[in-house]
Amino acid sequence: MAGVPMDQREGWIWFDGEFVPWKDAKIHVLTHGLHYASSVFEGERAYGGEIFKLREHTNRLIQSGKTLDFTIPYSADQIDQACRDVLAKNGLTDGYIRPVAWRGSEELSVPARNNTVHLAIAAWVWPSYFTIEERLKGIRLEWSKWKRPSPETIPSSAKAAGLYMICTLSKDAAMANGYADALMLDYRGYVAEATGANVFFIKGKDIVTPTPDCFLNGITRQTLIDLARRNGYTVTERHMKPEELSNFDECFLTGTAAEVTPVSEIGEYRFKPAEACRTLIDAYTAEVQPKLAAAE
């Protein structure tokens, strides 16, 4: 499916309670979610037919909608089952699942309390891009010119579509400059996150990760904190100034798509992926793919 436009793929999408052919899953051009970003979504991953931490993702989706002042018209149980059904309907055991909820097209103005809330769920193949050896080379990041805003100005706890505009701008600029991604600071000048992943820094058995008080506290991030502690690492969540990066030896990103991705460079700072990165990659793989790990 590589290279096929997202709207031209084969398969099925769950749309407001029914399966529709992939190419027919359409909305009107005057949809409120398109014009005013009244949309929330999730990124989930299935391994061996099981969606990792599905209920946590579903709960966050529902809460994100409430943060944007709308209620998704399905229960957590219904959304969980729909995600599983989408995976099965498309014949997938390993894949990426994307639920998205948005306000519809009854009215088009800033207020939208009379607009219907819709929910769609799609799933497709999303393999790991690198072998362990390739991943341990680390990816290169540049500094973004955009900053994560204050939580007084945006609903930073929600996985809301509008919050990703500066992520797109940052990543596109980084890739144009030959980098894989960009690292963002927050409105205070503290280290925040990459464009779609959280960041961790390592020195020996000590790991430091920025406090998520103005950006998303990722589910994969929470998983890695737990795994690191279970593997004998001390994890500290705190505010970090960018100049502190020179104190660390290893660095990695976490996210549903990124999983655990080592970093070799952030602007002027250099890191060498080593034992800690390998240990946590292996620990995460065992956590999300227990059947595969047991077979090995």
- Using CA atoms, how far apart are residues 242 and 161, in angstroms rounded to an integer? 27
Give the Cα separation of 274 and 138 in Å (integer): 10
**Contact assessment for residue 39 and residue 48, using Cβ atoms and an 8 Å cutoff:** no
Compute the distance between CA of residue 182 and CA of residue 143 in angstroms, rounded to an integer.
Answer: 5
How far, in Å, CA of 156 to CA of 256, rounded? 18
As a dihedral over the C-alpha atoms of residue 65, residue 69, residue 72, residue 76, rounded to 10 degrees, the angle is 60
H helices then E strands: how many in the chain?
8, 16
**Known active-site residue 159:** yes
Taking a C-beta distance cutoff of 8 angstroms, is the pair 157, 216 a contact?
yes
What the block records as the tokens of 144 is 């973004």
Give the pair of three-digit tokens for residue 32.
């409120």
Contacts of 55 (CB under 8 A, 6+ apart): 76, 80
DSSP-assigned letter for residue 81:
H
Catalytic residue among 23, 66, 145, 159: 159
- Give the Å distances, CA to CA, from 159 to 182, 215, 266: 19, 9, 25
Q: What angle do CA 162, 31, 78 make, to 5 degrees?
A: 80
Tokens of 248: 């660390």
Q: Which amino acid is at 177?
A: N
Distance between CA 60 and CA 135 in Å, rounded? 29
Which residues does the annotation mark as catalytic?
159
